[in-house]
Amino acid sequence: MNKKFLRQCIICKEIKDKAELHRITRDYKTGNIMLNNKNEYQGRSVYICKNSSCCIEKALKGNKIKQILKGELSETKRDELCNLLKK
Ligand SMILES: [Zn+2]
């Protein structure tokens, strides 16, 4: 059985297959906000379209990730995420 995991992009609200979305998680142990496409971390997560630079831009410029994950996102971390997401 090939069960699809559908998740919603926090920016455009489109519902897509998990494979088409970046997963960003606030690790419950460290509280760090990390890119989590390989499911290395556990904690509250948000999803952002992989192939929409618009969604990625908005997510990184706005406070949406911080608001939803209730975590801190430093400038450095934001730049780091920006590089990872735009690959
Ligand atoms: Zn989107």
Condensed to tens digits (0 to 9), the pLDDT of residues 5-63 reads 999 999 999 999 999 999 999 999 999 999 999 999 999 999 999 999 999 999 988 88
Q: pLDDT band for position 72 (50/70/90)?
A: confident
| Ligand 1 centroid – CA 9 distance (Å) | 5
What sign does the dihedral 8-14-19-22 (CA atoms) show?
negative
Domain membership flag for residue 1: no
Domain around 12: 6-85
Residue 2 pLDDT: 60
Q: pLDDT band for position 81 (50/70/90)?
A: confident
| Ligand 1 centroid – CA 37 distance (Å) | 16
Domain membership flag for residue 48: yes
Domain membership flag for residue 30: yes
Cα–Cα dist 12/20, whole Å? 13
Vertex 49, ends 70 and 15: CA angle to 5°? Answer: 90
Quick check: helix, strand or coil at residue 46?
A: strand
72 vs 9 pLDDT, higher one: 9
| Ligand 1 centroid – CA 59 distance (Å) | 9
**Domains identified in the chain, total number:** 1
Q: pLDDT band for position 1 (50/70/90)?
A: low
Cα–Cα dist 35/39, whole Å? 9
CATH of the domain at 76: 3.30.1230.10
Classify residue 32 by burial, with Cβ atoms within 10 Å: 0-12, 13-18, 19+.
middle
